[in-house]
Structure 1
Amino acid sequence: MKPEDIYKKKYKGLYCVGCEEFKMEKDLIDGKCPEHNCPPEEIEEENYFFKLSNYQNRILDLIRTDKVKVEPGYRKNEVISFIESGLNDLSISRSVERAENWGVPVPGDDSQIMYVWIDALANYITALDYNKEGELYEKYWVSGDERIHVVGKGILRFHAIYWIAMLLSADLPLPTAVLSHEYLTINGEKISKSLGNVINPEEVVDKFGVDGARYVLLTSLPWSKDGDVNWERMTVKYSSDLANNIGNLVQRTISMINKYEIQVESQNLKVKTEENNLFNFDMTEFKNEIESLKMELALKRVIVAAQSLNQYIDENKPWSLAKENMAKCAEVLNRVRNDLIYLANFISPFMPDTAEKMKNQLETLKPEPLFPRIDA
């Protein structure tokens, strides 16, 4: 940052230890931090400050014009409102005593430790060898077409305001987008060690597999509100959407092809489009949903597509056609098989191992359970 943007002064304010941030009275609800539900500490000491106020108008213009795109829209409005209320200069250091001598020392001042968020945000570029203008920094930050931050709603301000100002001061490339997601809760309560309601991610993987864990977690977090999870709900989702829908569909298709000795006929899937598949997949909307990180909506399209293929099989009854019209039976099963190979491409961004297994099994006609059934 520019030296002229940094100065030292004595300061008195309300500090939330959980947020690692000074709070204004307007930020509090009933005198408490809304994020941690506890009153902030009153702190008075001498710190270094960053002239955040110098960059208020530039940041406001960047956010308003989507030069730095903040999603979803209502979070963008929150950021704009906060900026318009006036940006105060930001304390960027803590006394060694209050930091308990933990952290990165302020260069040239042994009495001060860098504010943890200044250090943390800088990691986005220092991890890429920014100080040496390394190859990774050049490739991913300077020359990259997109620099996207995906963050929880509780730290949006740090990324959409403070980090932008730091980069402006240093005259470095800015993020192209800051995408803010909501929180996962467990049985309607915020995840908390003190409440003892934490679900270990490793246990989720152990029960559902890596791809299954990706699925149940991604589809449990809506774009515009907190998502609630518990073991029962995740198990039902895994069983109904994955094991009984996609997994069963692949298994039954291959089994019938083998049973009725169907000669498989592969289509040119490179030219397959949403108009000539059975599930009318809207690729434009799918792409838009992924790019805006509405993962649960994109995955819903995948599940509906598999349901459509299962319905097509039930309606056409290839087990009956095998007795009456083998040519039609072959046509039905070949079409489902080819559409499944096509569908695997849309499953791949979320469940890459599953997509690869689907394609392999549909090519070799050797079925294995994609999603082993589990007890509720």
Structure 2
Amino acid sequence: MNKTFYITTPIYYPSGKLHIGNSYTTVLCDTIARYKKLRGYDTWYLTGMDEHGQKIETVAKENNMLPINHVDMIAESTKELWKNLKISYDDFIRTTEPRHESVVEKIFEKLLAQDDIYLGEYEGYYCIPCESFFTETQLDENHTCPDCGRTTEIVKEESYFLRLGKYQERLLQFIEENQDFITPETRKNEVISFIKQGLNDLSVSRTSFEWGVKVPSNNKHVIYVWVDALSNYISALGYNTDHDELFNKYWQKDGVLHVVGKDILRFHAIYWPIMLMALDIDINFKLYAHGWYLTKQGKMSKSMGQVVYPTPLIEKYNLDSVRYFLLKELPYGGDGIFTPEDFIGRINYDLANDFGNLLNRTISMVNKYHNGLVSKPNKTFTEYDIQLKEKISCTVENYKQNMDAIKISNAISEVWSLISRTNKYIDETAPWVLSKDESCDEELMNVMYNLVESLRIIGILLTPILIESSQKLFDQLNIDENLQTFDKISFGELVKTNVINKPVPLFPRLDKEVEEKFVLDLISTRETKVENTEDYIDIEEFKKIKLVVGEIIECKIHPNADKLLVTKIDTKDKVRQIVSGIAKNYTPEQLIGKKVVVVSNLKPVELRGVLSEGMILAGKNKKNLEVLEVTTLKKGDVIS
């Protein structure tokens, strides 16, 4: 019977579109799941959405929607993204599903009955976006959330608490006895340090909102996010139900891997194992906490207009280009930086030059020298043959070690080292020289076979990573399906094949400047226009914006930019010079005399060499742009 392997992503919060950070986690898990299946494991892959909480209730209300309608919409868009990324998940759990909620209710009541959960009162600083409480010592002087940087608020209410302290020493002992429980090592050390500071009991219910799973024995309480959300890993398997076959098969047996971002490490490394201890469920999982994808400006931020979304990249550059970059560029345990230069560079150099060109050259030479036919030679001809075979054997072993250790970037580097060695083999054996001597025909066939067989093995190694291109490689080399499996990874399994007549490039080379600009525009312009339900401002932030009525008394075309207009606007307190990008919609004559709304406290800047001391408010749709005008208000009147 095959070994089992159960892998999970965190369940994502439906606050808006998912960017490449979330996509990285999901692609990483998909790659590991595909690898395990390739190795013969009976694999189950879970992902999903964490759909309860005060933030969802608030956002839905502000958008005049029911919470369920809001999360339905986000869940469908997320599933569509995973479809575009060809994520091979087996189940998509939503915490609003009855199959999940019923399990959460049973878990809560069991822990309550055995006094691992008790009723008390909580007062502390609460961050709504993070759904987390913090002590004053965890906050800065402005009481901002240490995780997201937003303002916290003091909350005092009756609450149920999970007894973390009761299990503190037991958890520390478990971590010490299971050194590979948390990886990388640095993350494990962070967790141990946090536990040794002393664990405060965890608030696990709220009374200030309605959107969540109610405590069955006390309906005024909603079960707090972490007991609700973390339970998904076993509720999806049918734990504590009449249909617990998956739980018995995948949780109770061989291997379970939770993959999370480093920002939610504490919840998975402390709260979740303590919940399992209290429930008397074996802690069978390993936890891998990866780093973040950053931009040059730092952590990705929708409000700052520095976010990378995967869909337009897939549409433009194909799926495997995106998967390759995501998996290669984020080092084990560290952060990665997404830049247009690096993204296009990886496609051109790694995928087009190194990998794609090796396949193209090989197919072209097999057709040129042997009419597309390759057959297994009877002997080894040169030292170069031996070196290539030794390299393949070494690569396969290193690849397996790295994949098993979740060091996917390292595993990819091993494959590319083999690709590089195979390209070098062509130069060493010089088939164009061998082809000129009929007595070398058998040796030439040997070279062609070694190239095709190397590519077959490379294709197998890349099957979990480049899921479309590896299949295209097999198709172009006409490799039988039974020779595309990991149990046929050894050199020499191929007996003969007939490659296609003309190679089809897997990754055409890109115009560096053109494509880098395209990607840069995606990051900093196009995606900032996407509606985003996360980055709301509060009333105090809005009050900082000063809007006044001003009358345009002078207007002319910008001397260095024909798309810009330079206006002089009288706002009563002063005459301001404002540069606006509205020349396509208005002539200077059309604007003179209009009373418009002006942002009067915007920091002055120079635009194409001309000072601009504010901003004119305007609205637009796909066809028109219109400056906002006022009729009865006078210049200098304040808009509030």
State whether TM-score is above 0.5: yes
Correspondence list, 1:240-251, <5 A:
240-251=349-360
Match of 1:344 among 459, 466, 481: 459
Shift of 1:277: 4.4
What amino acid maps onto 2:499 in structure 1?
L
Q: How do residues 1-80 of structure 1 correspond to structure 2 at under 5 angstroms?
A: 1-2=110-111, 3=113, 4-29=115-140, 31-66=143-178, 69-80=181-192
User: Does the residue aligned with 1:128 lie in a helix, a strand or coil?
Assistant: coil
Q: Which residue of 1 is the match for residue 336 of structure 2?
A: 227
Structure 2 residue aligned with 1:265? 375
Equivalents in 2 of 1:374, 1:348: separation in Å? Answer: 24
1:161 CA displacement: 0.5
Q: Aligned residue for 2:59?
A: none
SS in 2 for 1:323: coil
Structure 2 counterparts to residues 83-232 of structure 1, below 5 A: 83-95=195-207, 97=208, 99=209, 101-132=210-241, 133-143=243-253, 145-232=254-341
SS of 1:352's equivalent? coil
Q: What is the CA distance between 1:284 and its match in structure 2?
A: 3.2
In structure 2, C-alpha distance between the alignment counterparts of 1:155 and 1:278, rounded to whole Å: 40
Equivalence for 2:423 = 310
**1:267: Cα distance to partner?**
7.6
Matches of 1:57 and 1:195 in 2, distance apart? Answer: 43
Match of 2:441 in 1: 326
> How far did 1:196 drift?
1.8
Deviation at 1:65, TM superposition (A): 1.6
Assess if the C-alpha contact under 8 Å between 2:395 and 2:418 holds in 1. Answer: no
For residues 199-247 of structure 1, what are the alpha-carbon distances to aligned partners after superposition, in whole Å with 9 as ceiling and x for unaligned? 1111222123222211111112111321000233211111211111111
Tell me the TM-score normalized by structure 2. Answer: 0.55
Residue 219 of structure 1 aligns to a residue whose secondary structure is helix
Q: How many angstroms apart in 2 are the aligned matches of 1:154 and 1:25?
A: 20
Answer with 337-346 or 62-71: which moved more.
Answer: 62-71
Please say if residues 318 and 332 of structure 1, whose CA atoms lie closer than 8 Å, have aligned partners that are also in contact: yes
C-alpha distance 67-137 of structure 1, shift in aligned 2 (>3 A): farther
Q: Deviations over 1:137-172 (max 9, x none)?
A: 2221123x1111000000011111100011111111
Question: Cα–Cα, structure 1 residues 280 and 137, in superposed 2: closer, same or farther, change >3 Å?
Answer: closer
Asked if the contact 1:278/1:339 (under 8 Å) is kept, the reply is no
Which structure has the bigger radius of gyration?
2
SS in 1 for 2:353: helix
Following superposition, which runs of at least 4 residues in structure 1 exceed 6 angstroms of deviation? Answer: none
Task: Give the structure with the higher percent helix.
Answer: 1
Distance 1:287 1:280 in 2: 11
Alignment match, 2:509: 373
Following TM superposition, by how much is the alpha carbon of 1:34 offset from its aligned partner in structure 2, in angstroms?
Answer: 3.2
- 2:260·2:290 contact (CA, 8 Å) conserved in 1? yes
Q: Relative to 1, partners in 2 of residues 1:201 and 1:40: Cα closer, same or farther, differing over 3 Å? A: same
Question: If each structure's strand is expressed as a fraction of its own residues, which one has the higher value?
Answer: 2
| Aligned amino acid, residue 334 of structure 1 | Y
Aligned-CA RMSD value? 2.3
What percentage of aligned pairs have identical amino acids? 40
Question: Structure 1 residues 343 and 236, CA, compared in 2 at 3 Å: closer, same or farther?
Answer: same
**Aligned partners of 1:17 and 1:148: how far apart in 2?**
29
Task: Work out the CA distance in 1 between the residues paired with 2:397 and 2:139.
Answer: 42
Displacement of 1:352 after TM fit? 2.9
Q: Number of aligned pairs?
A: 369
Q: 1:362 aligns with which of 472, 477, 486?
A: 477
Q: Helix, strand or coil for the counterpart of 2:273?
A: helix
Q: Is the 8 A contact 1:8 1:47 kept in 2?
A: yes
Task: Compute the TM-score of the two structures, normalised by the length of structure 1.
Answer: 0.91
Letter in 1 for 2:452: R
**Distance (Å, rounded) in 1 between the aligned partners of 2:475 and 2:463:** 13
